[in-house]
Structure 1
Amino acid sequence: MSDLLTSRDALVEAGRHLVSLGLSPGTSGNISVRVGDRMIITPTNESMGELDPSRLAVLSLSGEHLEGPRPSKEFTLHRAFYRRLPEAGAVVHLHSVHAVAAACLPPWSAASAVAPITPYFVMRVGQTPLISYAPPGDSAQADELEALDVPCRAALLANHGSVVAADDLGAAVNAAVELEEACKLSLLTAGRPVSLLTHEQAVSLAAKYGSFWG
């Protein structure tokens, strides 16, 4: 029970932090944490800056609604990452401005929508494929994410935003912020001669810091 209570409080604090950074406008975005065989996730149509730890949805990892208010309609994205990555303890999905903008553009490569523009993007996020468009809440995006043959802990959703998984909530929040910064830098430098990390440099960093590249 203490793990559930601690996870609820941490989720609420993470939501407030992301809103304070301007990365979750209105009632957009959602966060989940995995506790054993359950997922605690933000409810639908609520600002992540105004969450109540006693009013969070609890689902089984198969998606069964166990308690609390109606969960975010994007819960299938979270479930997809938990199925892909047994070690994942948290997932963050944002509609942050630069990630959405980058998700409206052609991907840099088949394996990553975002180029290796900084070492921190490679270290903290790693390759980030672009998932095909589907309406919000449509499980088609989650199905594509779960079936990807590209190893990843993050993805951009076409015309939609970002989704990031990590071992714990703090790492997931940090990775989501880092992905937003990489998207911002990519947009700021678009159309100019850009010095990217080489493939060898990116692969070396990924191997050292436990992310995926190449």
Structure 2
Amino acid sequence: MWQDMAKFGKKLVDHGLVESHFGNISIRIGSRMLITRTGFALDEIDENSVVEVDIDKPSSLDIIASSESIVHRAIYKNTSALAIIHAHSPFAVVESLLADRDMIVPVDSEGQYFLHEIPVVRGGIGTTELAKNTADALRDHRGAIVFSHGTFAIGKILEEAYIITTQIEHSCKLKYYCDLARK
């Protein structure tokens, strides 16, 4: 399973959706999750770069797991997600900073079709507030943007979460340029 995480971690970095040491990836395995370790480069994931932790309760391994483990847990507990990608996509972050409400509406047809709208949620990194707000948003959406921080995308498999991540970034990029051209 870490091999799939490595594949998509490299794709995230190669496509500029994260800087190497930021963002995280997880896969649900029953009542447990395999999640990237804190501080590890996503384009260099190996068997030592991931940790398996319980979804229902914190454990002593949390200290080496991603600082966003609490958010991943909340998402798994409150949605049907089996895979999560958290990226720091630049245009998504910019659009969250420019948004005048808690939703970004894509201007492109693919974004409208696949995403409908993109919730913008708030909360500090690795906090219960962020965990609750993100999980709530992902009950009805496939992806969300954390204000000034990055995206969370869910799927049944990592490929689906990756596609949602790229679609959010693509839609935010097009919206940014369209809004700029209108000024």
Same fold at TM > 0.5: yes
Determine helix, strand or coil for the equivalent of 1:93.
Answer: strand
Give the CA deviation at 1:122.
Answer: 3.2
Calculate percent identity across the aligned residue pairs: 25
Please name the residue that 2:148 is paired with.
Answer: 159
Match of 2:86?
93
CA distance in 1: counterparts of 2:6 and 2:59, whole angstroms: 20
| Higher helix fraction (1 or 2) | 2
The amino acid across from 1:142 in the alignment is A
1:36 to 13, 30, 33: 30
Instruction: Give 1:179's aligned residue.
Output: 168
How many correspondences in the alignment? 183
Partners of 1:40 and 1:56 within 8 A in 2: yes
Once residues 9 and 57 of structure 2 are traced to their aligned partners in structure 1, the CA distance between those partners, rounded to angstroms, is: 22
SS of 2:135's equivalent in the other structure is helix
Aligned residues of 1:95 and 1:162 also touching (Cα < 8 A): yes
Please give the residue correspondences for 1:7-86 in structure 2 after superposition, counting only pairs within 5 Å: 7-65=1-59, 70-86=64-80
What is aligned with 1:200?
none
Aligned to 1:116: 106
**Does residue 129 in structure 1 map to residue 122 in structure 2?**
no
RMSD of equivalent CA atoms: 2.4
Distance of aligned partners of 1:34 and 1:100 in 2 relative to their CA distance in 1, 3 Å threshold: same
How far 1:148 moved relative to its partner?
Answer: 4.7
- Inter-CA distance 60–130: structure 2 relative to 1 (3 Å threshold): same
User: Quick one: which amino acid aligns to residue 115 of structure 2?
Assistant: V
Greater shift, 66-75 or 46-55, is seen at 66-75
Task: Select the structure that is richer in strand.
Answer: 2
The structural deviation recorded for 1:96 is 1.4
- Tell me which stretches of 4 or more aligned residues in structure 1 moved more than 2 Å: 63-69, 122-127, 145-150
- 1:82 offset after TM fit, Å? 1.3
Are the equivalent residues in 2 in contact too, given 1:130–1:156 (CA < 8 A)?
A: yes
Is the 1:74–1:137 contact (alpha carbons within 8 Å) kept by the matching residues of 2? Answer: yes
What secondary structure sits across from 1:49 in the alignment? Answer: helix
Which residues of structure 2 form unaligned runs of 5+? none
Mapped contact 1:33–1:91 kept (Cα < 8 A): yes
User: TM-score scaled to structure 2, two decimals?
Assistant: 0.88
Distance change >3 Å, CA 169–CA 38, structure 1 → 2? same
Specify the alignment match of 1:197 in structure 2. none
